[in-house]
Amino acid sequence: MNKVGFFRSIQLKFIIIYILLLLLAVQVIGSFFITGLEENLVDNFKGTVNDRLKLLTYNLEQAFNEDRNEDETTPSIEQDVQQIVEEISTDDLINIQVTNTQSSLMGTNDQELINDIGKKVNSEMIQQVLAFNSPNQEIKRDSANDRVYVAAVPLYKNETVAGVIYVEAPIQQVYDQLQDINQIFLQGSLLAISVSAFIGILVARTITKPIMEMREQAQTMAKGDFTQKVNVFGKDEIGQLSEAFNDLNSRLKHSYSTIEEERRKLSSILFNMSDGVIATDTEGIITLMNEPAGRLIGENPDDLIGDSILDILQLDEKIVDISELQDSGSMILDFSEDDEIYLIRANFSTVSDDEDEITGFISVISDVTEQEKIERERRDFVSNVSHELRTPLTTMKSYIEALTDGAWQDKNIAPRFLEVAQNETDRMIRMVNDLLQLSKMDAEEYPLHKERTDFNRYFHQVIDRFEMHIPEHIELIRELPKGRFNVWIDKDKMTQVLDNIISNAIKYSPEGGKIQLKVENRRHFLQVSIRDEGLGIAYDKLEKIFERFYRADRARSRKLGGTGLGLAITKELVEAHHGKIWAKSKEGQGTTIIFTLPLMNQKRGYNR
């Protein structure tokens, strides 16, 4: 794991947050302070100017209300106004103008406007005061871009507006003072931030040091070292986190030790067992293979990690999609070369998580070459014996038929003997015929003539034929789905399959028994099941009923005329159609024979 740089560390984030909070506080305090100070200074300045303006207003209104004689010794109103303005004029009031109701200038302290006395003044503020008889004031900028406080108030004579006083006072010095104060405040803020940043680094280190230790400890734990502990510096939240981290470290150490022990056990079992084990993910990619599996396949297990199990076990022609492995159960894989037979049995199972979702597949493979060789030798023996027995049995049958046409001395025993001999002869011939059929199928000399077939329609025809000759105490129940389901089958051979299964169900059904004939669409294939209500078969005998000459109940089977080869032939024919067949049963609850047939609209590796 890479070391975290300072500019990406949580320590820098603590410092930045600390400084930002300080800046926010300074900004809020400064805004309130500067705004309040500005309002206070401006109000004080305006108060001073307004006091002088009130004094000037009072004196001028006295002058306006004074009675004047017409002689030359009495000064005119303009002279009095000018004298009052000059007496009150100070540096605070840089421009004083007094006008009458006609906006004519009557007096001013501006030397440039002395010569304009008597002339009309074009001032918008003066015109507004005359129009509305109310004072007016504002702050504006002069030609030098300095702020100037401007005020205009009406003059009254006998409660009638007689003129207007217009004054200008420089207020720029107030804003200059504010700017100086802002500079001082900014310098103080920068100093405070610098000191706070240094303090923030110290505070951040006290917070981040335990976190950095926990990060280093986590990196150490990731490497499998659980021996170290994190220092606990206090009882605060970080201290409690450190204690919890140390507790987690102890628990992980124990869990890791347990898992490692189980892993070593599993590894020892996998690499010392005689069978090969292959584990894959959901896509069929090999993730684990033990040494026996490598020896069986003839490859180095390490070289096969990452390859597809379908390629390694040569399942491409048997399985199109990896999901089919979950239903494949057990299968024999042929790795034979030239004349050397080499067969492997593969058993497949799924690996699921807590939510029953498939997370992978497990395949256990074993060498079954010797068992298959023995089975083939047994089948060859049966074939040879069948050929040897067929001729004498046929001769015996002909001889007995000839005797039954003649006269016998004992007319009571002879007919029964001949009848039994006849029946046994017929049964043996059927057995020989069955053996010959199996032999041909084993030698792949039993060609299938497949054609496109609507299975539902075909199955109905087979059932109809049985219903014409079925015993009265047996009832056939059909459960076929609606629709057209096309399969690629040899009708004659498939009829033999259905005849064998349905005939067995009829034989073993009790009085009033019902036989359920069911077809189900399973997306890629059809599943056909035939269920009777007979005595059933023990669980440990279910897998053997498809073996040749095997009878679950030998006495009953012989009484009903069975040869023990019907289900064996049935299995061979179903597998020749690329299907699977199996049985389900419980003693006393009947037996169900189930087989599958691939649908034509799915991609399958069957021959046409």
594 forms beta bridges with: 529, 582
- What is the CB neighbour count within 10 angstroms for residue 32? 10
Sign of the CA dihedral with 245 first, then 249, 250, and 251 last: positive
The structural domains of the chain, with segments of one domain joined by +, span 13-176, 230-272, 273-367, 372-442, 451-598
**Cα 79 from Cα 356, distance rounded (Å):** 112
What does the pLDDT read at residue 604? 44
Q: Which of 518, 491, 488 is nearest to 502 (CA)?
A: 518
Q: Which range among 196-200, 446-450, 497-501 shows the weakest confidence by mean pLDDT?
A: 196-200
Secondary structure in 3-state letters for 48-83? HHHHHHHHHHHHHHHHHHCCCCCCCCCCCHHHHHHH
**Is pLDDT larger for residue 216 or for residue 491?**
491
Q: Which of 546, 35, 137, 582 is nearest to 328 (CA)?
A: 582
H or E stretch including 462?
helix 455-467
| CB-count exposure of residue 484 (10 Å: 0-12, 13-18, 19+) | exposed
**Cα 151 from Cα 92, distance rounded (Å):** 13
H or E stretch including 139?
strand 136-141
Q: Are the C-beta atoms of 310 and 331 separated by less than 8 Å?
A: no
Q: Which range among 91-100, 388-397, 433-442, 460-469 shows the weakest confidence by mean pLDDT?
A: 388-397
pLDDT classification of 597: cutoffs 50, 70, 90: very high
**Is pLDDT larger for residue 397 or for residue 592?**
592
What does the pLDDT read at residue 498? 93
Q: Which range among 228-242, 353-367, 494-508 shows the weakest confidence by mean pLDDT?
A: 228-242
CATH among 3.90.190.20, 3.30.565.10, 3.40.50.150, 3.40.50.360 for 451-598: 3.30.565.10
**Cα 384 from Cα 171, distance rounded (Å):** 132
Collapsing DSSP to helix, strand or coil, 123 comes out as: coil
pLDDT classification of 608: cutoffs 50, 70, 90: very low
Domains 13-176 and 372-442 fall in the same CATH topology: no
- The hierarchical CATH code for the domain 372-442 is 1.10.287
According to CATH, the superfamily of the domain at 13-176 is PAS domain (3.30.450.20)
**Cα 306 from Cα 284, distance rounded (Å):** 9
How far is CA 241 from its chain centroid?
A: 31
What does the pLDDT read at residue 531? 93
Q: Which of 97, 123, 119 is nearest to 109 (CA)?
A: 97
Q: Which of 154, 201, 230, 243 is nearest to 10 (CA)?
A: 201
- What is the CB neighbour count within 10 angstroms for residue 330? 10
Mean pLDDT (the chain, rounded): 79
Q: Identity (one letter) of the amino acid at 391?
A: T
Q: How would you classify the pairing of strands 147-157 and 136-141? A: antiparallel
Look at the domain 273-367 and name its fold: Beta-Lactamase (3.30.450)
Collapsing DSSP to helix, strand or coil, 228 comes out as: coil
H or E stretch including 149?
strand 147-157
Q: Identity (one letter) of the amino acid at 73?
A: T
H or E stretch including 326?
helix 325-328
Give the model confidence (pLDDT) of 393-435 as tens digits: 665 666 566 566 654 555 665 666 566 566 667 766 776 777 6
Give the model confidence (pLDDT) of 247-292 as tens digits: 888 888 888 788 888 878 877 777 777 788 888 888 888 888 888 8
